[in-house]
Structure 1
Amino acid sequence: MTDRTILVMGGAHVDRRGRIAGETVPGASNPGGWFVEAGGGAFNAARNLARLGRRVRLVSPRGGDTDGEIVAAAAQAAGVEDTPFTFLDRATPSYTAIIERDGNLVIALADMELYRLFSPRRLQQRAMREAIAEAGALLTDANLPAETLEAMAAMAREAGIPLAAIAISPAKVVRLGKTLPALAFLFMNEAEARTLCGASPENPADWPDALRAVGLRAGVVTRGGRGVIAFDEKRAASVVPPAIPALGDVTGAGDSLASGFLDAWLGGTPIDEALRHGVAAAVITVRSPLAVAEEMSQTALADALSLVPPAEILS
């Protein structure tokens, strides 16, 4: 593994998840319980990468409140170097979700206005320029403004380091539109990929060509329990996730897949095998009630990898 730091700039906030205890009844009061933890696509991936042995530094806007303290404590527990932009008079962003008994999402609300203050000017500060110059790779997510993502891509290109991104949601992935050609990888689900392409290919194996056509050089498309597809400029591969008999919570599964994939890919692993590592990391996460499994480690990843079938080469 390289000793160079992975610099993560994106969402780091508080997740509030309500889990319904019985069968979901729309339009009615459903018995259940609440769970609160730190979250955010970029932050979840950062913590997984740190637990996998990577040196990780986090930069993200934060409020001067108790929610901000939750985020700081989670970063420390995972071994992430935490260097936030703190706004003492504002609230830390939050994500509130309702989860069905089987772990699937019903609906969610994201209060992310503070991320608008992560402007391109922030990237021009001396400390940020130095952090990017010292990094071995950058990871971001679509919680940040489009103009900031574009500026980040330009700085990554100038520094000669890869920039990867997490799509977050169909509503937010469009912020990456002008940045797509500069990305080393974009991690997304089918709904987010459909937003970029304007349609869904009839054959899932056609996702790589559809996404290349809109300017994306490489990416990973998750499809729930169906085959996950990874591609770069020359090839594509698919892995079918193993069945998980005891599903904990799907929250954070895509973020952990991104971290497992990147950990392997940055180490020189081809995309088909890196995809298996990503799926294995997701297996660890969906078994856990947490968005970032405390047991995530290289040892746990190796164990989970034994459950993941070989990749199918699509092209």
Structure 2
Amino acid sequence: MQAQVKSQNIAVFGGAHIDRRGRISGATAPGASNLGAWFEEAGGGGFNAARNLARLGHRVTMISPRGGDPAGDTVAAAAEAAGVIDRPFTFLDRKTPSYTAILENDGNLVIALADMDLYTLFTPRRLQQRATREILAASELVLMDANLPQETLAALIGTAAKFCPLRAGIAVSPAKVVRYRDCLDGLDFLFMNEAEARALTGTEAATAEEWPLLLRSAGLSGGVVTRGGRAAVAFDLEGACLATPPALSALADVTGAGDALASGFLAARLAGADLSACLRFGMAAAVITLHSPFAASDEMSQDMLEQVLQLVPETEMLS
């Protein structure tokens, strides 16, 4: 199955900051000094997805707070390189947010520190600016991440509902996904991992097959729950399906894989694909990212997505 690409307007609101990742060279020794290396790039859940969607042929506008510092210039340069239309709210006297992670030798996360205070200044009144409302009115998809304050997410979802046929969110983390709790009914899809789904629903454990019912009961009409190398589940108003990620011999870096899955899924949805195809396209986009040292792979393209799709198993529909 091929999703026919028609360039559409997409507005992305959320994290666009600096990612710093330290990768341990050998076996991880907790509580001790570990040999390794640092890597720094522009990142953020929303920004990773925005760059992926732009490389998949869409007209993407990124709206996010930013500081007036060299880190902000790095983000701006990354947006330009990916073809993203950059519309930041710049605070000249503040520093650009950052995310610092320590990764094991195999690419899995050990611990991370998010310095994100600037995002609290993205208040709901920012959405009332004429330029922002015009961007929303012209968009087929509004995508956001939970780096934004709870009241801003609620206001954004409410405003977007007046203009945009498709509204989606990225969970970001278990601590932040709960910011969507009071406005889940305004989202068409929410992308999360199992830890984030547990935080959102207050459920200690659930099988893949149980997540659609649990999340629907919480007020969500559609979403995707990823489970590492185990089967992911996707659901919408019409049904639910499972797909198992293809086995990978090695991971370059897990950072950005979930954002890529959201990108591939939503690009397929915009092209009119059904739930099963959307999940497979999302997994293909995640595979491209997992093979890249970057959180948003510069190899992301529709042609590459179609090639990698052949590696993704067929889905299993759930009753």
TM-score of the aligned structures, taking structure 1 as reference length: 0.98
Distance 2:63 2:262 in 1: 18
CA distance in 2: counterparts of 1:175 and 1:202, whole angstroms: 21
Unmatched segments (≥5 aa) in structure 1? none
Aligned residues: 315
Question: 2-side partners of 1:262 and 1:64: how far apart?
Answer: 32
Give distance in 1, aligned partners of 2:207 and 2:287: 25
Equivalent residue number for residue 39 of structure 2: 35
Letter in 1 for 2:86: D
Unaligned residue ranges in structure 2 (runs of 5+): none
Structure 2 CA distance, aligned partners of 1:144 and 1:39?
Answer: 15
Instruction: For residue 4 of structure 1, report the CA deviation from its aligned partner.
Output: 3.2
CA shift, 1:201, in A, is 4.8
Aligned pairs (5 A) from 1:169-248 = 169-248=173-252
Who is 1:46 aligned against? 50
Counterpart selection for 1:251 from 255, 265, 272: 255
Q: Output the aligned Cα RMSD.
A: 0.9
Deviation of 1:314 after TM superposition, in Å, equals: 1.1
Q: 1:160 and 1:303, CA in 2 relative to 1: closer, same or farther beyond 3 A? A: closer
Whichever residue aligns with residue 148 of structure 1, its letter is T
For residue 304 of structure 2, what is the aligned residue in structure 1?
A: 300
- Asked if 2 retains the 8 angstrom alpha-carbon contact of 1:4 and 1:134, the reply is no
> Within 2, Cα distance between the matches of 1:290 and 1:129?
32
Amino acid across the alignment from 1:30:
N
The answer on whether the counterparts of 1:201 and 1:210 sit within 8 Å (CA) in structure 2 is no
Q: Deviations over 1:178-208 (max 9, x none)?
A: 1101101000000000011111454320100
Q: Is the 8 A contact 2:139 2:164 kept in 1?
A: no
Residues in 1 aligned to 2:185 and 2:206: alpha-carbon distance in whole angstroms? 24
Offset of 1:303 from its aligned partner? 1.0
Matched, 1:141 2:145: yes
- Distance in 1, matches of 2:300 and 2:56, equals 7
C-alpha distance in 1 between matches for 2:170 and 2:26: 32
**1:70 match:** 74
Aligned to 2:104: 100
Letter in 2 for 1:259: S
Partners of 2:201 and 2:215 within 8 A in 1? yes
Deviations 1:49-92 (A, max 9, x none): 01111110000000000100110011001000001000010000
Identity between Structure 1 and Structure 2 (%)? 62
Task: String of CA shifts for 1:266-285, please: whole Å, max 9, x gaps.
Answer: 11100111000000000000
Question: 1:160/1:46 Cα in 2 relative to 1: closer, same or farther (>3 Å)?
Answer: closer
| Pair 1:264-2:287 in alignment | no
CA separation in 1, counterparts of 2:85 and 2:243? 33
Cα-to-partner distance string for 1:141-172 (whole Å, 9 max, x where unaligned): 00001111111111111114221000000000
Question: Is the counterpart of residue 61 in structure 1 residue 65 in structure 2?
Answer: yes
Which one-letter code corresponds to 2:219 in the other structure?
A: G
Runs of 4 or more consecutive aligned structure 1 residues displaced over 6 Å after TM superposition? none
